[in-house]
Amino acid sequence: MTRDIRPRDDDRPVAADGGTAPGADDVALDPWGSSTVEDYRNLFAEFGIEEFDELLEAVPDPHYLMRRGVIFGHRDYRPVARAMREGEDFAVLSGFMPTGDPHIGHKLVFDEIIWHQEQGADAYSLIADLEAHSARGLSWDEIDEHARDYLLSLVALGFDPEDGELYRQSTNREVQDLAFELGSKARFAELQAIYGFDGETSVSHMQSVVTQMADILYPQLDEPKPTVVPVGPDQDPHMRLARDVATRMRYFKVTEAYASFEADDAEREHLAAAYAALDDDGETVRCVDAADWLEAEMAPDADRDRAVEKLRAAGKEPLRPRVRFLDRNATDEAFDALVAAIDGEKRRYEEHADAFEMDVERAEELAREIEVDHGGFGFVPPSSLYHRFMTGLTGGKMSSSVPASHISLLDDPEDGYDKVKSATTGGRETAELQRELGGEADECPVYELYAYLLSGDDDAFAREVYEECVGGERLCGGCKEQAAELMREFLEDHQEKREEANELLESLDIDLDSERRGVPGDEH
């Protein structure tokens, strides 16, 4: 499956088929393992990641990484896009594990954080030093050395630290306290299932996972708000766990309901169908009548049969739509306050309350308001964006441990020039074949540099490079020369800005030199 980043009919260069580079491995999503994905389309079906292209029109002035399909997927980004459109509060956060120099692959995340900040987000970026120490075995001296470089590049690229927040996991007490609270809702069995932890996994490594959950939810400590975390797809296990833990921390769960008994989503679909069929001119619909209708009209399956069983047990109880507030973690005072705040007809039960004149959206708002007023967090499930991995300049994956495969943001500009000149291309065997058949831009790490970085916001330039390549007008030698010169210029400019950012970074309230001592953890 090839990486396809090409112009569409509406003139936006974009990845059309969800592919990746040749040589990529088919791997599970592992935050500490291989950073390659064989077929991005599998992520939609297997892990529930949604295609970003379907949401593109809902995003005001989308970033070029979105327009070109480099950002290919999301989890629940709609609340963030809506907040952006309507001028409401939202946040962006992402972190960096300082295991080596920041490189052009990391720049994708830097750019996403900065763009969201420019759109009005409360912006946060962190150094995942606890994770680096426990999961990757780095010493504190190594971590200190690299942490400064990540933060300098982020600021040099445009992050405004005076309007955002930078921190280290190890020195942020609020994050550590939040991690302790979140840990009460996480179990070893699920860490084992998600990450493959076993009896040899250190407790510190497990603790670093819960700390990452706290990082993800940290922007909501002052008030609940939509929050997006830009990451590579290998980090999706963290996002799934964070969303689950955020939900478990809530005081109330809001669902639709039709009777006093509980029903799952599939059963509720059957209840809704029966009610819609039987509701007529204000006549009361009874549960037993709904059971009869389901048995007569719906094909038997496990979901229908469970719904019928529950309806028959309820007998003559009226079947009637309502919104239900389930008590998950609420104090008695919070539950009393919720019931008192429900407008219109309502009924209170031991572990839930039903509202008959309220829609789900308003119920969610009310539940969150009561929770926050009574000492809860009221977390909004965090959203995420997923970008493609950059192909290494030598083919296969880009790896910090293979210097020739990547360009560090700290590389001497001349070294950056040389690496691009030596890069693998998607060209044909000879110039004659290139002119006759055209180049294979979708399989070319050099074209990727244009699409991901060197074209910047200039879609017309990215399109021109693509079309000249696949049309046979552009030969690899000249294409690499142009890309190498642009890379040299980018590195020169970036490193000048890093020098300018150094003084600003020194003035910030962030510990760049750790006083911690300890034995590095073991990689697992």
| Whole-angstrom Cα Rg for the chain | 27
Distances in Å between the Cα of 518 and the Cα atoms of 236, 371, 521 are: 30, 40, 9
200-204, 424-428, 488-492: range with lowest mean pLDDT: 424-428
- In CATH terms, the fold of domain 403-507 is Tyrosyl-Transfer RNA Synthetase (1.10.240)
User: Which residues fall within 8 angstroms of residue 238, CB to CB, at 6 or more apart?
Assistant: 31, 209, 212, 213, 216, 231
* Helix orientation angle between 360-373 and 332-341, rounded to the nearest 10 degrees: 140
Predicted model pTM: 0.87
> Do the Cβ atoms of 13 and 5 come closer than 8 Å?
yes
**Amino acid making up residue 389:** F
What pLDDT is attached to residue 21? 31
What pLDDT is attached to residue 497? 96
pLDDT at 29 over 60: no
- How confident is residue 343, by pLDDT bands cut at 50, 70 and 90? very high
What pLDDT is attached to residue 2? 35
pLDDT at 42 over 60: yes
Structure tokens at 18: 């969800």
Percent of the chain with pLDDT over 90: 70
What pLDDT is attached to residue 298? 95
89-93, 134-138, 458-462: range with lowest mean pLDDT: 134-138
139-143, 258-262, 477-481: range with lowest mean pLDDT: 139-143
What pLDDT is attached to residue 509? 78
Spatial separation of the C-alpha atoms in residues 62 and 43, rounded to whole Å: 23
| CA 376, 377, 380, 381 torsion-angle sign | negative
How would CATH label the architecture of 33-249+381-387? Answer: 3-Layer(aba) Sandwich (3.40)
| Residue 448 per-residue DSSP state | H
For 286-313, what is the mean pLDDT? 96
pLDDT at 149 over 90: yes
- How confident is residue 349, by pLDDT bands cut at 50, 70 and 90? very high
For 415-439, what is the mean pLDDT? 89
- Supply φ then ψ for residue 254, to 5 degrees: -105, 125
What pLDDT is attached to residue 163? 94
396-405, 442-451, 464-473: range with lowest mean pLDDT: 396-405
All structural domains of the chain with their residue ranges: 33-249+381-387, 253-373, 403-507
Most confident of 264-273, 424-433, 441-450, 466-475: 264-273
pLDDT at 145 over 70: yes
